[in-house]
Amino acid sequence: MHRDIATPGRTKEILDKYGFSFKKSLGQNFLIDPNVLHKIVSFAGLTEKSGAIEIGPGIGALTEHLARNSGKVVAFEIDQRLLPVLEDTLSPYDNVKVIHKDILEADVAAVIGDEFAGMEHIAVVANLPYYVTTPILMKLLEDRLPIDSFTVMMQKEVADRISAKPGTKEYGSLSIAIEYYTEAQTVMTVPKTVFMPQPNVASAVVHLKRRSVPPVAVRDEDFLFRVTRGSFVQRRKTILNNLQTSLPDGKERKAEIAEALGEAGVDPGRRGETLTLEEFGRLADALYPKFGG
């Protein structure tokens, strides 16, 4: 058994060896507690038939736990300075591939096809860079990739928005998109002390299980999300006001928007944050003939 990377002493040793300094712009906060990593990996439910995708492996602390518990790991790392470090720290594991690429620009479907042939289960397991958590999740969900689950560390505030329910101040278009694609739960909160350097914010791990079928059937998925995003442009405004602002020529077409709200059984005086996914589905379908396409 190799010495865990995720201890303060070993992390410092590796950073010193390579003269590595953290880049704030990349949101680099490395995990230094093996217990937290054990838990993350156990929530992911990996087996030797699992392919694991990691985003932002850093110096490989989580990567080595994934390598020990899955069939193959593919890690996307944007920071070129970390490539030689990872080559060194992950040298004991022959089932890891590091790709020097921004996940937002990568052809993830092609990578899955090339690297995970014969795997029964594909999971994203990552300590996500906090400044791009939402774009990364939305890309991986909207691209309809064959990913079965996500077990990801993120800022607690984003985790709260992901699992928020209608009528709460955290509830928004992100909550709705996540509910449409997945079943989400926050599985643990994580203290700042398990990171080097310590972040300024609290963290949480969220487990998302991809649904085989969305809970609502709509005419057009992209249009549903246009409507939900448009309904939260200004949280304090009514849904009618927000849709007038966000739909093409909405101000001149107020009557048509009001008519669609009536058809969907949604009071135009309500705020976006009070609508369920089901109600947004009905509303998007009522608006689609007028504003879709």
241 annotated to a ligand binding site? no
How far apart are alpha carbons 39 and 175 in whole angstroms? 25
In angstroms, the CA 88 to CA 210 distance is 34
Annotated binding residue 77: yes
The answer to whether the annotation marks 127 as part of a ligand binding site is yes
CA distance 238 to 79: 44
Residue 163 structure tokens: 């699992």
Residues 6+ apart with CB under 8 A from 244: 250, 251, 253, 254, 257
The answer on whether 220 is annotated among ligand-binding residues is no
Q: Which residues pair with 53 in a beta bridge?
A: 74, 124
What is the DSSP secondary structure assignment for residue 52, as one 8-state letter?
E
Q: Is 56 annotated as a binding residue?
A: yes
**Residue ranges for the binding site for S-adenosyl-L-methionine?**
29, 31, 56, 77, 102, 127
- Report the binding-site residues: 29, 31, 56, 77, 102, 127
